[in-house]
A and B are shown apart, each in its own frame.
Chain A
Amino acid sequence: MARAVSTRTKVSYTIAAWVVALLIFFPILYTIITSLKTEGEAVAGFNLIPSFTLDSFRDVQNQQNYMKPFMNSVILSVGSTVLGLIVGIPAAWAMAFSPTKRTKDVLMWMLSTKMMPAAAVLVPIYLIFLRLGLMDTRVGMTVLLMLINLPIIVWMLYTYFREIPGEILEAARMDGASLWGEIWHVLTPMAVPGIASTLLLNIILAWNESFWTIRLTTTNAAPLTAFIASFSSPQGLFWAKLSAASVMAIAPILIMGWFSQKQLVRGLTFGAVK
């Protein structure tokens, strides 16, 4: 039975929710406001009313071509996610439908790699990239980002696949489907919502990844994260330009996230409530 909630409680909850939401959103909002200020206004101190100038955006575009890092971000995030799905779907299938005694251990081990501080493996990965000639290459970064996000991909897909009744796959086997036929014709179409959520979340994670992209790229494979970073050091603290570069970097993923929020929320809460 639904509990009766008084108007006063409702109003106080609404105010609290707005305060929390604004607190979380404020850094992004202030970045957008700062990007619309002149450099003078930006360094003058806290001020929520900008002069609405687009000079900083123009300067950023004149100083560095935005399209190249943008395209690199698209290639690295989409490429690593698609590659991750190609590897992750069969892996999650095996773990969900042919589990062994050690499946849970393997899953936990995969997840534990996400708990490891990235800095701890910086030197070995840097050396591997150097020896294999992968420094500042899209191929190297795509593979690296794929490996970084693979535990998340496998875990999410595993959770989805576990919800699909095994009898349906057995029926496909009886109907003459090969292993790939089973995955391609039955499992994948049934798991489309799950695969879509996994795809979206991993694109966002790969897009926002900055630790490795800043350290292992310079020009050829540098995505938008490296693009923002390049504005922070050599020229000193040009807050308006830095904010404009940040806005240009986060805008595409923010727009994508906005349009796919329903799918994302479903993906992140899947299995939480039955």
Chain B
Amino acid sequence: MGTIQLRDVHKAFGATNIIPKLDLDIEDGEFVVFVGPSGCGKSTLLRLIAGLEDTTSGKIMIDGRDVTNESPARRKLAMVFQSYALYPHMTVAKNIAFPLKMAGESQSEIDKKVANAARILNLSNYLERRPGQLSGGQRQRVAIGRAIVRQPSAFLFDEPLSNLDAALRGTMRLEISELHQSLGKTMVYVTHDQVEAMTMADKIVVLNAGNIEQVGSPMDLYRNPRNLFVAGFIGSPTMNFVEGRAAEALGAKTIGVRPEHLRITVTNGAWRGVVGVAEHLGSDTFLHVHTDDHGTINVRAGGEIPVTHGDVVFLTPEPAKIHRFDANGKAL
């Protein structure tokens, strides 16, 4: 089991409200990603679940048990930190064995579990090394190994890939997803990278200033953002927002069109503009078009489009893919 429920959870540091009252349900076996900009309270929320921060008020339940006032160790959770937080004076084997040693397990049982975790994470050849002798990716695997051996109810990840380079981040992202498939355990993952959120999550929780803006599957959030914040945060490149006559014509204060939902022609279309920058990636072409009436619009076109800086182009949004928002920023 690995269900987590938050009820009226509130966190304040002195007079500063970090997380206003909030409810959240995480189902057993789900991969939930908390995503939001820096300072939105996502890490604080994870630390509240872990027990590393005390709640100001509200209740946290794990597997139906109220753990609000329990110490981190008693919550049966394992956490992987951004900085790996490995014990530098211990070997890889001892790092992985540490939670088992604290739980008072026998040496033979510890050896067996450490060997198994090392096999799963391809660390068998590094067991006698110290963390300082490992690469970033290997260190992160050790941190994951230390989490696995505890057989926790749920895993908590606090921006675990942000210290890795782009290539390794992609590989580790896949490894964590595969680990989730094979272990079938609940995982709660914090990131500010919406690509990580979209690719890994069963459920995304979008946070802004401590408030939950929307909870849903990645495609749900992509297709039906509840408000301007979610619409702007989910999707890469970000959604284009247009106000004025074009929006009013559709009965909205603001309309949003994703860069991939704009048709581009050189003869005629809804919005005329001049190409500022054209980024040709082969698989895609990204255009930054300075339009006559709607400012700069980002366009993503599949394949190679033979346009370049200074060319005049016409953009037409796909009618079915236009998002409409009212004056309060809520989706219509």
Contact = CB atoms under 8 A, between A and B. Distances in A.
A176 B85 contact: no
B85 A165 contact: yes
Q: Number of contact residues on A: which range applies?
A: 10 to 19
A170 B52 contact: yes
B73 interface: yes
B77 A174 contact: yes
A177 B81 contact: no
Contact of A174 (B78, B87, B88, B103): B78
Majority SS of interface residues in chain B?
A: loop
A40 to B, nearest CB: 59
A167 B150 CA distance: 18
B22 to A, nearest CB: 22
Interface in B66-108: 71-73, 77-79, 81-83, 85-89, 98-99, 102-103
A176 B82 CA distance: 19
Contacts of A165: 83, 85
Contact of A175 (B73, B83, B89): B73
A215 to B, nearest CB: 43
Interface stretch (A114-122, A182-190, A249-257): A182-190
B257 interface: no
Nearest to B147: A174
A176 B83 contact: no
A45 B65 CA distance: 86
A21 to B, nearest CB: 37
Given A175-B146, A176-B99, A190-B89, A167 B83 contact: yes
- Which interface residue of A170, A178, A192 has the most chain B CB atoms within 10 A? A170
A171 B81 contact: yes
A170 B81 contact: yes
B50 interface: yes
Nearest to A169: B85
Nearest to A177: B102
A173 B85 contact: no
Category for how many chain B residues contact A: 20 to 34
A185 B89 CA distance: 10
A67 interface: no
Given A170-B52, A181-B102, A186-B87, A176 B81 contact: no
Contacts of B52: 170, 173-174
Given A167-B81, A176-B103, A181-B102, A190 B88 contact: yes
Contacts of B78: 174-175
Nearest to A191: B89
Interface string A184-220: 0110011010000000000000000000000000000
A172 B150 CA distance: 13
A127 interface: no
A165 B146 CA distance: 18
A192 B83 CA distance: 22
From B71, B77, B102, B150, name the one whose CB has the most chain A CB atoms within 10 angstroms: B102
Nearest to B149: A175
Contacts of B89: 189-190, 192
A177 B83 contact: no
B114 to A, nearest CB: 13
A168 interface: yes
Nearest to B78: A174
B85 A177 contact: no
B87 A168 contact: yes
Contacts of B98: 172, 175, 177, 185
Contacts of B81: 167, 170-171
A192 B82 CA distance: 25
Nearest to B52: A170
Contacts of A177: 73, 98, 102
Given A175-B98, A175-B146, 14 more contacts: A168-B87, A170-B72, A170-B85, A171-B81, A172-B98, A173-B73, A175-B150, A176-B73, A176-B102, A177-B102, A178-B73, A185-B98, A189-B89, A190-B87
19 contacts: A167-B81, A167-B83, A170-B72, A171-B86, A171-B87, A172-B87, A173-B72, A174-B50, A174-B52, A174-B77, A175-B73, A175-B146, A175-B150, A176-B73, A176-B99, A176-B103, A178-B73, A185-B102, A190-B88
